[in-house]
């Protein structure tokens, strides 16, 4: 006789299904994983202090001494509200701004009216004059993202730049998208110009291959690979067929968490060599940054040192 299951036998409840986010992100982040591997080198000395005044408000002080970039003091402030909490990592509105001793100001306002819509405004003031404004709106669907950006729009004179982007998840590994850029200005031949770009990305758990092709002859391709927990590599090619110019770059990132050490290095086809070393000076809340930039054909060398507190 077969074994009978008792009616009192407890039934193990099925584990809840893990919801997979199929949103591909925005076109701006298409090459982000590769870009994050490349070092951000600077020349001279930099001292940065970040101070949190409350749970929502933070200020920063930056002192820079350089021969190639404007030197001086900059003050920055960041406010993160809690009126609209989308996720533990997303809370809105967000207000960011920084200003230097000459009165040059750059401000950002980011908000999320709904769960799917993100709005951003960027304003710049230089030499006490209004320099420019940029308005951006993102709509994030279940498996796509649509983006509209307007830069320096002037409805009276009919000038400005408009950018329309769309990125769609096709499969779990493939995303395809397009970008349309339209610019209107009296300085342009015919008064306006437009460019169309097609983009694609093939990604996996530890790699990402992305490419962008424009009808203006611009090509941008990148590849990112996570080789181990401590090593990441990235390579990219940027070409302009009309100008007959091509630049290839290779970068890597080595991270040693136990030592609080991160090193990023890069080499491009113009023989520019970059390296940035970041070391956390535990138990102090300090991070030491050392970087170097060497150009072999020009026989020039630049070095930078920075200290970040907070």
* 304 burial via Cβ count (<10 Å: 0-12, 13-18, 19+): buried
Closest to 277 measured CA to CA, from 266, 267, 292: 292
Express each pLDDT in 249-299 by its tens digit: 999 999 999 989 999 999 999 999 999 999 999 899 999 999 999 998 888
Average pLDDT value for the chain:
90
CA distance 106 to 34: 27
**Segment among 2-11, 17-26, 75-84 with least mean pLDDT:** 2-11
Q: What residues does 50 pair with on adjacent strands?
A: 60
What pLDDT, on a 0 to 100 scale, did the predictor assign at position 182?
93
What pLDDT, on a 0 to 100 scale, did the predictor assign at position 187?
83
Domain ranges of the chain: 27-309
What pLDDT, on a 0 to 100 scale, did the predictor assign at position 18?
52
What pLDDT, on a 0 to 100 scale, did the predictor assign at position 248?
96
CA distance 32 to 25: 11
The domain made up of 27-309 has a fold known as Porin (2.40.160)
Express each pLDDT in 142-196 by its tens digit: 999 999 999 998 877 878 999 999 999 999 999 999 999 999 888 888 888 999 9
Q: Is 70 exceeded by the pLDDT of residue 200?
A: yes
User: Who has greater pLDDT, 292 or 9?
Assistant: 292
């Amino acid at each position: 006789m077969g074994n009978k299951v008792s009616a009192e036998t407890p039934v193990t409840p099925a584990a809840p299904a893990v919801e997979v986010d199929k949103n591909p992100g925005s076109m701006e982040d298409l090459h982000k994983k590769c870009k994050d591997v490349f070092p951000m080198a600077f020349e001279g000395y930099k001292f940065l202090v970040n101070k949190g005044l409350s749970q929502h408000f933070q200020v920063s002080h930056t002192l820079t001494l350089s021969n190639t970039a404007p030197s001086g003091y900059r003050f920055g402030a960041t406010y993160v509200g809690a009126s609209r909490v989308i996720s533990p990592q997303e809370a809105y509105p967000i207000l960011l701004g920084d200003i230097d001793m000459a009165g040059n100001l750059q401000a950002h306002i980011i908000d999320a009216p709904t769960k799917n819509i993100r709005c951003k405004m960027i304003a710049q003031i230089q030499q006490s004059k209004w320099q420019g404004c940029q308005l951006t709106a993102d709509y994030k669907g279940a498996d796509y993202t649509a983006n509209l950006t307007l830069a320096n729009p002037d409805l009276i004179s009919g000038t400005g730049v408009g950018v329309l982007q769309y990125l769609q998840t096709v499969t779990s590994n493939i995303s395809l998208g397009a970008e349309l850029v339209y610019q209107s200005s009296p300085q342009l031949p015919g008064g306006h110009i437009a460019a169309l770009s097609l983009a694609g990305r093939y990604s996996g758990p530890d790699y990402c291959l992305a490419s962008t092709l424009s009808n203006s002859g611009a090509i941008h391709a990148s590849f990112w690979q996570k080789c181990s927990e401590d090593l990441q590599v990235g390579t990219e090619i940027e070409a302009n067929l009309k100008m007959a110019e091509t630049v290839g770059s290779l970068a890597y990132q080595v991270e040693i968490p136990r030592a609080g050490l991160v090193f990023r290095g890069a080499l491009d086809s113009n023989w520019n060599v970059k390296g940035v070393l970041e070391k956390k000076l535990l138990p102090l809340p300090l991070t030491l940054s050392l970087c170097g930039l060497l150009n072999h054909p020009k026989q020039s060398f630049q070095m930078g040192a920075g200290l970040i507190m907070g």
